[in-house]
């Protein structure tokens, strides 16, 4: 609502918020003259404050305004559902709980609420829908009830997560495919901007709908600044920030993005079927590697300097190092907000060779623990997700029935385990085998793991 007020009542504003960061973080979001300030602008403001060199201007006034009613009316007047939809909304005890459920009811949804009470201690789970573990309660509510779709918001309500009733997490880059097709139907030839963490599937989908696809740096302020320079019809980050310029003001708003998505899916008889039909790949979610303060940017600077990959690889260093192959990509970048390296990998098949990313990256990352640089990825695909484990040693090694997969024996026969697909140059082993290998990481059968076996990780 700060962004709404700075778009309708005035041109500048400031909000105290820790966003989706841990509860002991705090900070400010600032709008100055209609634009979000960041980077060098924030450092210049800091210098002015430290030097006490500001100059007060005469005039000005102060008044208190409750913008909730106008904000609600603006959204409700814009959104038209083709049919009522039953949804579950998880606000994660963030600030969206104070407004989003009522707005969603006002547009015609039947809403089941989870954790709407605003509580900065976040007693139920952390309010960050980009992390799959924070969606477990939402998935459980969908499974036990008859709602058609689940929505989740982050701590300050500017990001959106979507889960279908069969438990599929529709990541923001797939949401963007739906949004892009809808927006481009009214803005033919429009530019759609997205960040470096997004799927390879997104740009072809935008272009097939008649739009221009533009990849840019991660950071909501950076993307909004890009709009100020070049203009776009729609923008997005993989973390869940969605920026609508068509019918809206260009700022990121999880509630409004959720309403726009519901408007689109309400035209279909089954929202889940529509969403699950969007192009997909095998991918990890965002993987975060904890580092010392300042270390991520140092590592990434070295990676950019040394990046060298054979054709047909395409290297993009606009934000870290992203390397695209015809059948997948790998990314390492430094977070803008916390001292972590951010990794993401995607393949068009489960057998994508993500280990091709390692020879260049490993030397620059050698001073960090290998288990931190190449953490336990999750393989995501429509309807199937497994979390790999690393190879145990000594007494922790799994039973021989798991270790036998390498010698050509089935790891197990449990229904639902993924077929083996050797990655990193080794030969694929066929669909009768029961694990997936990502470089030096293999996913175990979840039933064996839950029964006490650790699975095999090469």
d(CA 263, CA 85) in angstroms, rounded, equals 10
My answer on whether 287 and 275 are in the same domain is: no
Does residue 436 surpass a pLDDT of 90?
Answer: no
What 3-state class would DSSP assign to 275? helix
Does residue 413 surpass a pLDDT of 90?
Answer: no
Q: Per the domain annotation, does 63 fall within a domain?
A: no
Q: What is the pLDDT of residues 397-409, one digit of tens each?
A: 333 333 333 333 3
Q: Per the domain annotation, does 106 fall within a domain?
A: yes
Give the CATH number, domain containing residue 120. 3.40.120.10
pLDDT at 70: 97
My answer on whether 229 and 362 are in the same domain is: no
pLDDT at 21: 77
My answer on whether 339 and 434 are in the same domain is: no
pTM (2 d.p.): 0.76
C-alpha torsion sign, points 216, 177, 132, 250: positive
Phi, psi of 128 (to 5 degrees): -135, 95
My answer on whether 444 and 400 are in the same domain is: yes
Does residue 277 surpass a pLDDT of 80?
Answer: yes
My answer on whether 106 and 224 are in the same domain is: yes
Phi, psi of 325 (to 5 degrees): -110, 170
My answer on whether 40 and 171 are in the same domain is: no
Of 149, 171, 146, the closest CA to residue 160 belongs to 171
My answer on whether 202 and 346 are in the same domain is: no
Where is average pLDDT lowest: 62-71, 73-82, 260-269, 414-423? 414-423
Range among 104-108, 125-129, 193-197, 344-348 rated most confident: 104-108
My answer on whether 354 and 342 are in the same domain is: yes
- Which residue range(s) make up the domain with 419? 388-450
Q: Per the domain annotation, does 57 fall within a domain?
A: no
- Structural domains in the chain (count): 4
**Active site residue: 7, 19, 64, 236, which one?**
19
Question: What letter does residue 419 receive in the DSSP assignment?
Answer: P
Q: Would residue 369 show up in a list of annotated catalytic residues for this protein?
A: no
Of 404, 304, 305, 310, the closest CA to residue 356 belongs to 310
Q: Are 19 and 30 in contact (CB under 8 A)?
A: no
My answer on whether 402 and 309 are in the same domain is: no
- The total number of residues written for the chain in this structure: 458
My answer on whether 341 and 291 are in the same domain is: yes
To which residue do tokens 């021989």 refer?
400
Pick the last residue of a domain from 279, 306, 338.
279
Q: Per the domain annotation, does 157 fall within a domain?
A: yes
My answer on whether 201 and 273 are in the same domain is: yes
Confidence of residue 440 (pLDDT cuts 50, 70, 90): very low
Range among 103-107, 156-160, 237-241 rated most confident: 103-107
My answer on whether 208 and 108 are in the same domain is: yes
Give the CATH number, domain containing residue 355. 3.30.310.50
């Amino acid at each position: 609502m700060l962004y709404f007020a700075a778009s309708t009542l005035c041109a500048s504003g400031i909000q105290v918020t820790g966003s989706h960061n841990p509860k002991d973080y705090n900070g400010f979001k600032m709008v100055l003259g209609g634009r979000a300030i960041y980077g060098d602008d924030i450092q210049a403001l800091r210098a002015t404050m430290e030097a006490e060199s500001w100059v007060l201007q005469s005039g000005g006034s102060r008044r208190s305004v409750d913008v909730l009613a106008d904000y609600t009316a603006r959204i409700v007047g814009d959104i038209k559902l083709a049919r009522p939809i039953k949804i579950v909304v998880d606000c994660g005890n963030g600030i969206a709980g104070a407004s989003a459920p009522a707005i969603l009811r006002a547009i015609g949804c039947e809403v089941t609420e989870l954790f709407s009470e605003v509580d900065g201690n976040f007693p139920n789970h952390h309010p960050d829908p980009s992390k799959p573990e924070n969606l477990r309660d939402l998935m459980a509510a969908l499974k036990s009830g008859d709602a058609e779709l689940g929505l989740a918001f982050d701590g300050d309500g500017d990001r959106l997560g979507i889960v279908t009733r069969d438990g599929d997490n529709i990541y923001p880059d797939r949401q963007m495919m739906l949004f892009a097709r809808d927006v481009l139907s009214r803005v033919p030839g429009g530019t759609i901007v997205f960040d470096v963490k997004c799927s390879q599937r997104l740009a072809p989908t935008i272009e097939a709908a008649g739009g221009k696809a533009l990849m840019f740096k991660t950071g909501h302020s950076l993307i909004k600044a890009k709009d100020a320079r070049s203009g776009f019809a729609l923008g997005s980050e993989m973390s869940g920030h969605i920026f609508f310029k068509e019918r809206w003001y260009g700022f990121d708003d999880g509630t409004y993005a959720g309403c726009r998505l519901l408007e689109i899916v309400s035209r279909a008889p089954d929202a889940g079927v529509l969403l699950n039909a969007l192009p997909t790949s095998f991918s990890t979610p965002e993987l975060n590697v904890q580092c010392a303060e300042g270390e991520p940017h140092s590592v990434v600077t070295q990676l950019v300097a040394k990046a060298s990959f054979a054709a047909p690889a395409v290297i993009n260093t606009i934000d870290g190092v992203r390397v695209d192959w015809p059948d997948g990509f790998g990314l390492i970048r430094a977070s803008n907000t916390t001292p972590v390296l951010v990794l993401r990998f995607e393949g068009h098949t489960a057998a994508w060779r993500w280990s091709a990313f390692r020879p260049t990256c490993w030397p620059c990352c050698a001073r960090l623990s290998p288990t931190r640089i190449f953490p336990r990825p999750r393989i995501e695909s429509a309807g199937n997700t497994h979390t790999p484990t690393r190879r145990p040693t000594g007494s922790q090694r799994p039973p021989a029935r798991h270790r036998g997969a390498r010698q050509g024996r089935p790891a197990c026969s449990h229904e639902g385990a993924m077929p083996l697909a050797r990655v990193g140059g080794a030969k694929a082993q066929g669909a009768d085998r029961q694990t997936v290998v990502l470089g030096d990481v293999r996913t175990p059968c979840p039933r064996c793991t839950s029964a006490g076996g650790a699975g095999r990780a090469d």
